[in-house]
Structure 1
């Protein structure tokens, strides 16, 4: 019988398995992944990794491998304008360092992050079963039996669902969600540009939604471009000339001519918050527990916070001789993470509704607010430490760079 079975071999699932196994090597852990073995190598996206998450990845022994492929964010610029405006005034800027030599975030290619976490899992002896999905599970007082798509069954003390925002395991567990769609889609692509970005990230608030420019190594940038869903579908289906022309209008000309160097995909945007994070012998983590708007760049980092809290909960319970799958143990994880997740979900929802419109009185009020924050250094410092994940009290040990 397994001690812990993780369904989903993405960043969160792998990190959860590695974090627990590293701190408690005697626990028997396996990961099940529905996708084929090498599909992750085709992921062209990149993610912002905040300071707290990078500290955790450092403790897990993978940050050095990730860091060589990353781009530090040295500065953040926020503008608010219309697409047709000839000038985009800067309302708010943040210096990227939260302490000497440490930026608040790094941009990391997803493929390198998964590669490093898979390497750690392999070194720790964690088996990853590919091409299998969980089709059902039944729970008793002592274990959970999971049925896989090939008809086989696995018995485990704890089942951890990291199977995405449309989690089938969450539905099987009977956990309900708060859910709505924004009528927006996020277009994700990568561009090269003539002039260096110097590690500057920009977020342009446009009437259809935020347009984020995030620096990558080798003079490239990752884009998260929010549009109304019907417009996003039209842009994805358009030829390269039309797509790049629309892109340049939003990106601006400060970095010169742009060239799209990655594929382009659109993802529907919405808010999904699980009403519970746990059930007997069952826990949700990552997007299976919460899906938020990318306006704050915190989605993946919320998942890593889940990992840190869940791993500490499991390992400390095991050291005390407790049953790691019992509801009493798992409720500590839920209480640790549910409020923070709810707060971030509400924050991103309000920000998206506030900035994704062209109503003049609202525009005037929000620009006044941005300008006010710009003139208050202590408030800016507070926001940047919160964004970096270093300002919260009671963080799990891994997020502080400490071993469990």
Structure 2
């Protein structure tokens, strides 16, 4: 791995991935592992080591876990991961003394296979970086892309330190505010929700037994997600707490006692005394959908292609679906002797992923608008709907399989199969 200034000119590559988060890393690893003959490298504008300071955790669906296992990364992650054994959903006001459970999901898609695990982001990133190193993938850190030029047979990428890199395909995995997407002239559909997601880790006295909970409150959902015990064996959960942006900013910037009091009111004391273990941070929430996922010699993946509301916890898993589909398209095209960066090849990836992504974006948008309010008639309708789902095992099984990422048209890696 490399960091800092690059050589003034590098040898031509087959694939250059911009962005070394979990999407970029898994894309590079998936392509290189399946097709070792391809030259794959990465650049990342973030300073070296910044990923190690990411205190957030993410839900890894069963299909994504199968993919990480296939990429030889899950064995390192699994001892630090927490299986979600049960999911419960409530719909109430913050002041309500009782929160009746309207919907419950058992946590398995198959005997012994949980539908999701909670994984610390730095553990996920670290395992994928280790795998990239084993495959000989260079990661140039602290250097972003300043421009790129598309020619008939490739793309010349200009880096911020003055170096240039030639490749056949450029993968943009540089986040929801993707600069590469803008450079490619790809427009987006974007709107803000006026909400922010507060994220922190909370310690508590009693064990959670792998139960995840999502409470739909008038300002937005409040989710408690089980984490593995820390190195001292203490019980922990991850909090994703959606509030109106002004309230969220006030809470994270204000007095710690006020924050803990508001948190306790939502978390309750069912797991005993709680303590905030990481500094709370807030991220503005919105919907961003790229109008195209590809352009000549460039493919968008992850948040660069779509940013959705966290109400369904599917952001990371959508990104890994992109990776699995893109890697399969690229590898199969190379095996057939086709140009992996040609637009007709990349169109296969776009056709595979675009409808599913738009569908998920619309679904999360509708769910957020339906549940993030205190309108009486809407409360009655949504509670009736949750109650009906609770009474229909086949429908619950369908939702579990959708949440696990094991729906129809799933790429091979997400089934745990090699490309």
TM-score, normalised via structure 1 length: 0.99
**Cα distance in 2, alignment partners of residues 37 and 23 from structure 1:** 27
The Cα of 1:239 is off from its aligned counterpart by 1.7
Query: Which residue of the other structure, out of 281, 284, 288, is the alignment partner of 2:300?
Result: 284
**Cα distance in 2, alignment partners of residues 97 and 252 from structure 1:** 27
- Would you say 1:217 and 2:228 are equivalent positions? yes
Match of 2:74 in 1: 63
Match of 2:412 in 1: 397
| 3-state SS, counterpart of residue 380 of structure 2 | helix
Listed as ranges, the matches of 1:100-115 within 5 Å are: 100-115=111-126
The Cα of 1:87 is off from its aligned counterpart by 0.5
Listed as ranges, the matches of 1:84-103 within 5 Å are: 84-103=95-114
Query: Which residue of the other structure, out of 264, 273, 297, is the alignment partner of 1:248?
Result: 264
Query: Which residue of the other structure, out of 273, 284, 289, is the alignment partner of 2:289?
Result: 273
| 3-state SS, counterpart of residue 66 of structure 1 | helix
Once the two structures are superposed, residues 343-376 of structure 1 have per-residue CA deviations (whole angstroms, 9 ceiling, x without a partner) of: 0000000000000000000001100110111011
**Cα distance in 1, alignment partners of residues 174 and 140 from structure 2:** 14
Once the two structures are superposed, residues 273-307 of structure 1 have per-residue CA deviations (whole angstroms, 9 ceiling, x without a partner) of: 00100011000000000000000000000000000
| 3-state SS, counterpart of residue 165 of structure 1 | coil
Listed as ranges, the matches of 1:25-64 within 5 Å are: 25-64=36-75
The Cα of 1:80 is off from its aligned counterpart by 0.3
Match of 1:146 in 2: 157
Match of 2:309 in 1: 293
**Cα distance in 2, alignment partners of residues 293 and 345 from structure 1:** 8
- Runs of 4+ displaced beyond 6 Å: none
Match of 2:8 in 1: none
Match of 2:94 in 1: 83
Match of 1:172 in 2: 183
**Cα distance in 1, alignment partners of residues 254 and 87 from structure 2:** 31
Listed as ranges, the matches of 1:319-330 within 5 Å are: 319-330=335-346
The Cα of 1:37 is off from its aligned counterpart by 1.3
The Cα of 1:257 is off from its aligned counterpart by 1.1
| 3-state SS, counterpart of residue 80 of structure 2 | coil
**Cα distance in 1, alignment partners of residues 371 and 408 from structure 2:** 29
**Cα distance in 2, alignment partners of residues 394 and 193 from structure 1:** 41
Match of 1:127 in 2: 138
Match of 1:9 in 2: 20
Once the two structures are superposed, residues 236-263 of structure 1 have per-residue CA deviations (whole angstroms, 9 ceiling, x without a partner) of: 1112111100000011121111100012
| 3-state SS, counterpart of residue 324 of structure 1 | coil
Once the two structures are superposed, residues 213-268 of structure 1 have per-residue CA deviations (whole angstroms, 9 ceiling, x without a partner) of: 00001110000000000000000111211110000001112111110001211000
Q: What's the RMSD between the two structures over aligned residues?
A: 0.5
Match of 1:186 in 2: 197
The Cα of 1:328 is off from its aligned counterpart by 0.5
The Cα of 1:329 is off from its aligned counterpart by 0.4
Match of 1:387 in 2: 403
Match of 1:116 in 2: 127
**Cα distance in 1, alignment partners of residues 397 and 380 from structure 2:** 24
**Cα distance in 1, alignment partners of residues 64 and 342 from structure 2:** 27
TM-score, normalised via structure 2 length: 0.96
Once the two structures are superposed, residues 106-158 of structure 1 have per-residue CA deviations (whole angstroms, 9 ceiling, x without a partner) of: 00011110010000000000000011010111101101111111111111100
Match of 1:350 in 2: 366
| 3-state SS, counterpart of residue 344 of structure 1 | helix
**Cα distance in 2, alignment partners of residues 251 and 238 from structure 1:** 19
The answer for unaligned runs of 5 or more in structure 1 is: none
The Cα of 1:395 is off from its aligned counterpart by 1.1
| 3-state SS, counterpart of residue 333 of structure 2 | helix
- Would you say 1:159 and 2:170 are equivalent positions? yes
The answer for unaligned runs of 5 or more in structure 2 is: 1-11, 230-234
**Cα distance in 1, alignment partners of residues 209 and 179 from structure 2:** 42
| 3-state SS, counterpart of residue 2 of structure 1 | coil
Question: What is the number of equivalent residue pairs in this alignment?
Answer: 403
